[in-house]
Amino acid sequence: MDFSVANKILLTCARGVVPFLQKEVERLGFPVQQSLQLGLFTRGTLNDAIALNLSLRTANRVHFLLHEFRAENPDHLYQQLVKLPWEGIIDSRGYVSVTSSVMNDAVSDSRFANLKCKDAIVDRIAAKKGERPDSGPDHSRSAVYLYWKENDCAIYVDTTGESLSRRGYRKIPLQAPMQETLAAAVLLAADWRGDGHFVNPMCGSGTLGIEAALIALNKAPGLLRHNFGFMHVKGYDKAAYLDIRKSLRADIRKKSDFDFVLSDIDGQAVAAARQNARTAGVDHLLKFHRCDFRETPVPQGRGMVFVNPGYGVRLEDERSLEGVYSGLGDFFKRKCLGYTGYIFTGNLMLAKRVGLKTSRRLIFYNGSIEARLLEYELYDGSRAKPHTVVQKDGAE
């Protein structure tokens, strides 16, 4: 298989993230050929797929197209797939996992399509090489993705493997963390570029603060990982991978002129956030405080204050959170003038308790929970327009 030839590349992401993924892709100089609900199509070589894996902040996976064909049923699927030169892509002594999206009346369970696809791959390799690779659900080695809608099939090399949201820095899991790719998406939606202070009360495991620091330092998130699906493609261009890493490393800024303040009331969360920041190599930028969010020190000047409070679904009970949300409104008004405030929440009723007028409301999904990124302009006295306070029980 000639991987120096450009082909379709499917980038996947969470619902609501596509516009921000599109901007990232275009900024890297790749064309956006088609936008989907959960991703988009671009075009490039396998080496381009390597660069996308290392650079993108909001994508979950990078799939490189091998072949498109038609199949009516699982037997047709097998017959088409067994013709492909898998022995040139997957090591006969390796390991392969298959995932799929299947919308075909002949197949009620996508696991059956995965099995047929896996059979075709290992049968083909066994026929050509006299030995067959192992297979199973482990995504950390060779990975293949099948898309099958009605009679249209597309088979891809999953060049990512474990989702890109697993950056590798979150060693200590806490309750209800944001996915790293979602945290990056809401920061890019807020147009965060690192040109102001960043304040993150209720930081939990530190995802928002760490992603904000990575953006401010222009540090590509893929530099934190050392295993990707493309590394298990036979004959992948290791020299190109090392060159891409080197040039991305050269682009990293050493420091920021602004402060990053992360706080949480829970000492374990602060310790986890600190450790995670160290693993991500951004701890030298971040200052941590164990305190109630109301006591978070806010540096003089301008910047963003970003809060992801509990929703009352998975963490605290909704009632006890009412005071937290109204307290956030007071904290913004009292201590954050001159900043732009952001609250990321999956509970719109609680969001009304903030009592400030939103300047923007963007829809995201945190897993299956519909969420909002709410933006508040917190004008200080030197600006013409005062912030608008509305009744606590009403819509803004």
- Mention every residue, 6+ apart, whose C-beta is less than 8 A from residue 65: 7, 8, 9, 10, 154, 155, 156
Question: Does 276 sit near ligand SAM (CB under 6 A)?
Answer: no
Touching ligand SAM, residues 348-387 (CB under 6 A): none
| CA-closest candidate to residue 199, choices 348, 316, 332 | 332
* Residues 6 or more apart whose Cβ sits within 8 Å of residue 247: none
Radius of gyration of the chain (CA): 23
Report the residue number, 48 or 180, with the smaller CB distance to ligand SAM.
Answer: 180
In terms of Cα–Cα distance, which of 158, 155, 163 is closest to 96? 158
**Taking contact as CB under 6 A, which single stretch among the options 56-64, 105-113, 171-179, 251-259 is the one that binds ligand SAM?**
171-179
| Three-state DSSP class for residue 362 | strand
Please answer whether residues 300 and 232 qualify as being in contact, where contact means their C-beta atoms are separated by less than 8 angstroms: no
The neighbouring-strand residues paired with 43 are 8
Among 16, 39, 44, 177, binds ligand SAM (CB under 6 A): 177
Smallest gap from Cβ 292 to ligand SAM, in A, equals 4
Per CB under 6 A, contacts with ligand SAM among 318-337 are 324
- 60: region left, alpha or beta (phi > 0 left; psi from -120 to 50 alpha): alpha
Applying CB under 6 A, among 208, 298, 371, 378 the residue interacting with ligand SAM is 208
Among 123, 292, 318, 377, binds ligand SAM (CB under 6 A): 292
| Interface pattern 213-242 for ligand SAM (x via CB under 6 A) | ------------------------------
> Do residues 361 and 373 lie in contact, with contact meaning Cβ atoms separated by under 8 Å?
yes
* Segment lying near ligand SAM (by CB under 6 A), choices 141-149, 150-158, 205-213, 348-356: 205-213
Using rule CB under 6 A, residue 310 touches ligand SAM: yes
Task: Identify the residue among 12, 159, 181, 207 touching ligand SAM (CB under 6 A).
Answer: 207
CB-nearer residue toward ligand SAM: 55 or 308: 308
Closest residue to ligand SAM using C-beta atoms: 204
Query: By CB under 6 A, what part of segment 63-102 binds ligand SAM?
Result: none
Q: How far apart are the first and last CA of the chain?
A: 58
Residue type, 179: Q
Tokens of 182: 């979602």
Asked if residue 368 lies in contact with residue 335, where contact means CB atoms within 8 angstroms, the answer is no
Residue 332 CA to residue 377 CA, distance in Å, equals: 10
Q: Does residue 309 sit in helix, strand or coil?
A: coil
Can you tell me which of 78, 228, 293, 332 binds ligand SAM, judged by CB under 6 A?
293
Interface stretch with ligand SAM, choices 28-36, 98-106, 202-210, 218-226 (CB under 6 A): 202-210
Q: Does 308 bind ligand SAM (CB under 6 A)?
A: yes
State which residue, 173 or 394, has the beta carbon closest to ligand SAM: 173
Nearer to ligand SAM, 135 or 308 (CB): 308
Q: How far is the CB of 181 from ligand SAM (least distance, A)?
A: 12
The token duo for 289 is 């405080």
- CA dist 236 and 232 (Å) reads 8
Residue that the structure tokens 């996308």 belong to: 52
Work out whether 209 is an interface residue with ligand SAM (CB under 6 A): no
Binding of residue 265 to ligand SAM (CB under 6 A): yes
Residues within the interface to ligand SAM (CB under 6 A): 174, 176-178, 201-202, 204-205, 207-208, 264-266, 269, 292-293, 308-310, 315, 324
